[in-house]
Amino acid sequence: MEKTKSIMVVGTTSHAGKSLMTAAICRLLVRQGFKVTPFKGQNMALNAYITADGKEMGHAQAVQAWAAKIEPRIEMNPILLKPQGDMTSQVILMGEAVGRVQAADYYRDYFDRGWAAITDCLGKLATEFDYIVCEGAGSPAEINLKHRDLTNMRVATYLQANTVLVADIDRGGVFAHIVGTLELLEPEERALIKGFVINKFRGQRSLLESGITWLEQRTGIPVIGVIPMLDQVFPAEDSLDLLERRSRKPNADLTIGVVRFPRISNFTDFDPIDAEPTVNLKYITTKDELNNCDAVILPGSKTTIADLHWLRQSGIAESIPNYLNNGGTIMGICGGFQMLGTTLADPTGIEGIAGEYPGLNLLPLQTIISKIKTTRQRATTSNYPAQGISIAGYEIHQGTTQWHSEQANIAEYEQLFTDQTLGIVDREGTLWGTYLHGIFDNGKWRRNWLNQIRSRQNLAPITNDVPDYSTQREEIFDQLADSIAEYLDLSKLQ
């Protein structure tokens, strides 16, 4: 049997387009009839996904797995670091939370364990797939970090992977970035670079040709793709992406705001909303922006208590009751759900300083943060906004939340799903909270929720008969592959 082949995608900078390029290559190879898996040895991100067996991995690798038409599994991302904002990160190793560590101590404590996990996972994947398409992180040429880099050229060298270097021309300095990166690579690493991709190009290709000719002559490496700035919706990797995402749709008549916490997590929950043609999605950071939104979502947070403090400092917390009274809708997901309750207790200081903190006091809930982390896929049935809709999603949270049963106004609230632990809604349908990530992926539920908001704004309903987002995501992958295939010479990497 022919040996498994490997492709490595590295970038001159963060945000060069590595995740998108990896997903596109996965889909293009699958179209050629190959069995393909994505891989990223170590990911640092606050967007996570839960596998079928309850393991936590980077959401970007889950997206790439779907692009490869396979189910996400933990071998695709053995190490996930989740920053907590105080120079510490939670370490997820082989899908399990194994500790919290200072940046300066991480490689001392986890480098050897991490590399062992990476090589073990690569060995397992190599027995099952024709191609392993690997994604790097940041830049492969950070000279102060290269000796302990678990993600970039160490993996490429281990696999002897055909490597593509992706550069973002939209930010300027693309030729300096490419040449500078090559200069800082070791000769054996540089020998693995089989092509350059110039990404996010807005101009006329003819005006770029002289630069391409110079680059190829200087380096002896071909430019195998000049990819235009793509317009389609694609899942974002990190919060830097949110600064560039502006939803402006000619037929949109609803605006939904997502509060952009400093430690926002799992904002991939909102990709299905962003893909709705009648909805403009915007990320908000000030109280004045509430008034321009028909609904506001408090998303997940890696450090819920710290982001709750920020919510008060920004003035958004004190503005929410007035927003609700003026006809707005509020929804909390995971950490945002916890914030809506009466109290959040962190008795052992999991998020920092131990103590009990007041919530927004909008839902009769009490949350206790604990060392035990809940990570599981869930299936349930909706009670609201319509009964009997089958729902799928996943939980990622530390702590438990209980209804505050002795509170007098408990009768004003109902279970959002048949499983009481997953969510709560007030009887007017203006205040929602759930632990379920991926709730908007459920097409019928999403459209029923949007139609309730539309009714409050005296807008006509839109059809509820829509597929789940997974079907739409397949169309996005095919559009992405079609767009990139036109400009990328993949044969140079095969």
Give yes or no: 334 in active site: yes
Which of 40, 36, 139 lies closest to 80 in space, CA to CA? 40
Which of 116, 43, 126 lies closest to 79 in space, CA to CA? 43
Distance between CA 91 and CA 83 in Å, rounded? 9
Contact at 8 Å (CB) between 433 and 425? Answer: yes
Q: How far is CA 267 from the centre of its chain?
A: 6
Residue 357: other Cβ atoms inside 10 A? 17
Lookup: tokens for 386: 């319509």
| 488 secondary structure, DSSP code | B
Burial class from Cβ neighbours inside 10 Å (0-12, 13-18, 19+) for residue 253 reads middle
Separation of first and last alpha carbons in the chain: 17
Distance between CA 471 and CA 275 in Å, rounded? 12
- Identity of the residue numbered 358: P
Give the C-alpha distances (Å, rounded to integers) separating 474 from 88, 132, 479.
36, 20, 9
Contact at 8 Å (CB) between 477 and 66? Answer: yes
Give yes or no: 134 in active site: no
- From 121, 134, 334, 397, active-site residue: 334
| 398 secondary structure, DSSP code | E
Angle at 397 between CA 50 and CA 43, to 5 degrees: 50
Q: Looking at 153-270, list the stretches that DSSP marks H as alpha helix, in order from N- to C-terminal side.
A: 153-159, 174-184, 187-190, 205-219
**Integer Rg of the chain from CA:** 23
Which of 154, 223, 224, 159 lies closest to 186 in space, CA to CA? 154
Residue 89: other Cβ atoms inside 10 A? 20
Angle at 104 between CA 103 and CA 110, to 5 degrees: 75
CA dihedral 333, 335, 336, 337 (to 10 degrees): 60
Catalytic residues: 334, 437
